[in-house]
Structure 1
Amino acid sequence: MTDHPKSANTSALLAGAHIEGVDEATWLDVIQRMDEVYSQLVSDEIALEQKNVELEQSQQFIFSVMSAMSDVLLVCNERGEIEETNAALCELVGCSDDALRGTPVFALLADDESRTRMRGVLDDANPSRRGEAVELNLRDAAGAGVPVDTNLTPRFTRNGRRAGTVLVGRPTAELKRAYHELREAHEALKLAQQQLLHSEKMASLGRLVAGVAHELNNPISFVLGNVHALKKYSERMGSYIDAVHAGASDEELGALRVRLRIEHLLKDLPSLIEGTMEGAQRTADIVNGLKRFSAVDPEGRSAVDLNAVIERAIHWIQKGTSEVVALHWAAREPCVVTGSAGQLQQVVMNLLQNAYDAAGAEDRVAELTLSCTNEGDRVRMSVRDNGPGIPDEYLSRIFEPFFTTKPVGKGTGLGLSISYGIVEQHGGVLSARNHPEGGAEFVLDLPRALAGPSEVAA
């Protein structure tokens, strides 16, 4: 590109080399320096073209970013005149960027209050570099006011002089709609969690139906037998009282007392009544326990002895299975925690049921080892089975919702997940591992409650 001009210059200069006092070496030096200057000019021109390309690419990038922003963007100078906008703002106010450029920002505000707030930010002599959050009403394409939650950030030159203000905002109607949708989703999630919790409770309760029927049959049969005896006794007493009212002689009344065994009846009545009350109370206790276990609403928090919870859970598990279960358990000192007795019972029952299912999966006698101890300000309960243990690849997923290794129809996959959530709500930790001596071990760790025996919930 530079060969022809250079050749022409060189020829011209050499042609004039006959000037008196200027030798050829001097002319060659001048020509060399001109070539160097020319080469530098060409290099500078190439570098300038490259800078122009980079600048254009940078401008295109900034324009694409501004166009892609869903938030409105406005840049004004220190006098409040608009210098730059983005597509979101132009769409909101119904004007093009060229039409907005140079117009005062106050023309976009829908009310005097917004103009006052904007003026206060622009006139602030010592603005915060982090900006100021202000709610403004912008005028949309139809002329109506649109509330916009904005952040007004000052813009400075290199020497620290304020050059203007950058406005970035989002219409609050969109935020309110998003918050409303989030709140609805949260409520739906809470309802689904309650339904899952109740479903898992009822699934656990279903496994205990046979044991519950047997448990209720004993006191009800006892009460029924006593009521039949009391009915016979009442008939005898009625016959004897009728004879007294009829004016029977003492001899007749004495013979009647012997025949009706009135003396024996009177001695037997207190024990019959006491036994009937005991059977009715046992029935009421069983029903109350089932109602507490299947309740949907969370119970109030109180001091609970975890030993008593374990005893009840063992009782229900044993009543709900016809298989032999070898249980190694002995309650020691009271292990008192603060929480819901019904929810904690659900957790313990779930751990026991899972341990029994794992240990009884193969042809072996299920053997469960339980312990509950106080360790400083914590209560630690462990449930260990003699099953095959948990595969290593499942240990990290054991508490995931709907994860189960049981056959279809044998488990919901929610028991451990719900138990984990209940323990977490009680400020505790539920963990699982494979015991060094074999089998799986689940450990329940809860904060210890400092409560006296009289405060512990039954």
Structure 2
Amino acid sequence: MMYQFLTDNRAELIARCRTKVAQRSPSGTPGDELDYGVTVFLEQLIKTLQVETTSEPMRSRKVSGPTGGGKPVLSEISESAALHGRELLLHGFTIDEVVHDYGDLCQAISDLAFERGEIIDVDEFRTLNRCLDNAIANAVTEFGYQHDSALAEKQAVALNERLGFFAHELRNQLCTATLALSIIKQGNVGLSGATGGVLDRALVGLGNLIDRSLAEVRMTAGMPVQNKLYSLADFITEIKLSASLEAHVKDCVLTVSEVDPLLAIDVDRDLLLSATGNLLQNAFKFSPSHSEITLNAYAVADRILIDVEDHCGGLPSEDAEKMFLPFVQEGADHSGLGLGLSISRRSVEANHGALSVRNVPGSGCVFTIDLPRHLAAATSSLAVDDA
């Protein structure tokens, strides 16, 4: 009888499985927990085989579950296999290793039976396969459920953190704007004074925060890019209008180059406006007052380049790429979410372009948007498109 063979050789089978499991296990994983699924499953397999030799063989289904494999059902094997799958996830195993655990025991039984000349009949092998199917199905199901739950919890925490930062920044800017407006409404100060400047800065900050957030939503949600051919000159003119206000608020000088009217870009305007606008916002944010911020758009061969040069003082070369990571903020001013450059790069890449940064030691940085070049022969202006 197979159950007698398994009972007599229980220690040897467990030892062989322990050796295989240890070879795959992460360092420092407790051996007793690695053995738990195999040892308990072996006991349940023996119990199942014993019951099937009685006058009521179907009672074994309470121990090992029905035939079918792959559909988890309530049984002793299902409960212990689910626990085993959960433990393996906690110890850093992969789903492949969950399956290997049970495969190790099957292989150990087959090898040892061959070595000892033990004959196992077809029905007993069918029982073994049924038990393995149900154990693997439940272990894998629980492993996947716990993995998905842990991932969902991690994502929820990250999302809540980002929403918290966003709400905090939004509240600060809104409170500042509301307070400044209430003071102006009292009639004691004018719009052109210092309080008016506070109101301007708060409104500009609100607009920037909302623009970045909308761009991030589009990138994260994978919404389709809506490309259209635009005059590069018109695009730079629109950027200049909004950036000029921020330059005034930040007490900086904005210099914008002349643009060849024959140049055009085939882009999703909203995404590229957000990306370019964010580069300018960063330039004003990290450059001292009275600095010159330069916006330069031109063509080189089959590419169109848009440069934004600031006077932040420069940065170590090894930190250049780190600036594009989410939640990374360089410089002394840590207001904002630290998402702007990450969103800008994704927005530019969505337009078949590239965003890079070049350090100018002791001076600042030059951010460059690199896009495919087009001719402006059939372009529509931005103003017409908005009409």
Matching residue of 1:88: 37
Matching residue of 1:338: 267
Q: CA deviation at 1:422?
A: 3.0
Q: What is the TM-score when the length of structure 1 is the normalising length?
A: 0.45
1:335, 1:374 within 8 Å by CA — same for their partners in 2? no
Q: CA deviation at 1:96?
A: 5.5
| Structure 2 residue ranges without an equivalent (≥5) | 1-10, 26-33, 53-57, 86-97, 115-119, 182-203
Q: CA deviation at 1:431?
A: 1.4
Matching residue of 1:110: 65
1:92, 1:141 within 8 Å by CA — same for their partners in 2? no
Matching residue of 1:301: 226
Higher relative contact order (CA 8 A, sep 6+): 2
Matching residue of 1:349: 277
Q: CA deviation at 1:325?
A: 0.5
Distance between the aligned counterparts of 1:182 and 1:449, measured in 2?
43
1:400 aligns with 2:325: yes
Distance between the aligned counterparts of 2:70 and 2:165, measured in 1?
42
Distance between the aligned counterparts of 1:194 and 1:335, measured in 2?
37
Distance between the aligned counterparts of 2:326 and 2:66, measured in 1?
53
Matching residue of 1:29: none
Q: Tell me the secondary structure at the aligned position of residue 70 of structure 2.
A: strand
Please give the per-residue CA displacement for 1:124-173, whole angstroms capped at 9, x wherever unaligned: xxxxxxxxxx625566228989899968979698x9xxx98985825214
Change (3 A) 1:92 1:449: farther
Which structure has the highest helix share of the two?
A: 2
1:313, 1:349 within 8 Å by CA — same for their partners in 2? yes
2:352, 2:372 within 8 Å by CA — same for their partners in 1? yes
Please give the per-residue CA displacement for 1:15-43, whole angstroms capped at 9, x wherever unaligned: xxxxxxxxxxxxxxxxxxxxxxxxxxxxx
Question: Which residue among 222, 241, 244 is the counterpart of 1:315?
Answer: 241
Q: AA paired with 1:179?
A: D
Please give the per-residue CA displacement for 1:308-337, whole angstroms capped at 9, x wherever unaligned: 343233222222325251504112233323
Matching residue of 1:12: none
Structure possessing the higher radius of gyration over alpha carbons: 1
Change (3 A) 1:371 1:57: farther
1:383, 1:443 within 8 Å by CA — same for their partners in 2? yes
Distance between the aligned counterparts of 2:156 and 2:321, measured in 1?
29
Matching residue of 2:187: none
Which structure has the highest strand share of the two?
A: 1
Q: Tell me the secondary structure at the aligned position of residue 294 of structure 2.
A: strand
Q: Percent identity?
A: 20
Q: What is the TM-score when the length of structure 2 is the normalising length?
A: 0.52
Change (3 A) 1:144 1:103: same
1:135 aligns with 2:61: no
Change (3 A) 1:67 1:435: closer
1:337, 1:379 within 8 Å by CA — same for their partners in 2? no
CA RMSD of aligned residues (A): 5.5
Matching residue of 2:18: 63
Matching residue of 2:144: 175
Q: AA paired with 1:352?
A: L
Distance between the aligned counterparts of 1:291 and 1:436, measured in 2?
29
Q: AA paired with 1:315?
A: L
Distance between the aligned counterparts of 1:291 and 1:138, measured in 2?
51
Distance between the aligned counterparts of 1:417 and 1:325, measured in 2?
26
**Structure 2 counterparts to residues 43-442 of structure 1, below 5 A:** 60=15, 62-63=17-18, 65-66=20-21, 87-91=36-40, 95=43, 99=47, 109-112=64-67, 114=68, 135=70, 137=72, 140-141=75-76, 167=132, 169-171=136-138, 172-183=141-152, 185-186=154-155, 189=158, 293=211, 296=214, 298=218, 301-303=226-228, 305=230, 306-320=232-246, 321-322=248-249, 323-332=251-260, 333-341=262-270, 343-360=271-288, 365-374=290-299, 378-408=303-333, 412-435=337-360, 439-442=364-367
Change (3 A) 1:292 1:337: farther
Q: CA deviation at 1:352?
A: 1.5
1:355, 1:384 within 8 Å by CA — same for their partners in 2? yes
Q: CA deviation at 1:348?
A: 1.4
1:66, 1:87 within 8 Å by CA — same for their partners in 2? no
| Structure 1 residue ranges without an equivalent (≥5) | 1-55, 71-84, 115-133, 214-285
Q: CA deviation at 1:442?
A: 0.5
Q: Tell me the secondary structure at the aligned position of residue 360 of structure 1.
A: coil
Q: CA deviation at 1:453?
A: 1.2
Change (3 A) 1:454 1:308: closer
Distance between the aligned counterparts of 1:69 and 1:138, measured in 2?
29
Equivalences, count: 282
Distance between the aligned counterparts of 1:383 and 1:59, measured in 2?
67
Change (3 A) 1:328 1:408: closer
Distance between the aligned counterparts of 1:347 and 1:205, measured in 2?
21
Distance between the aligned counterparts of 1:439 and 1:315, measured in 2?
23
Distance between the aligned counterparts of 2:362 and 2:324, measured in 1?
23
Q: CA deviation at 1:454?
A: 3.6
Please give the per-residue CA displacement for 1:266-321, whole angstroms capped at 9, x wherever unaligned: xxxxxxxxxxxxxxxxxxxx9xx999848746486242635434323322222232
Greater Cα offset, 185-194 or 367-376:
185-194
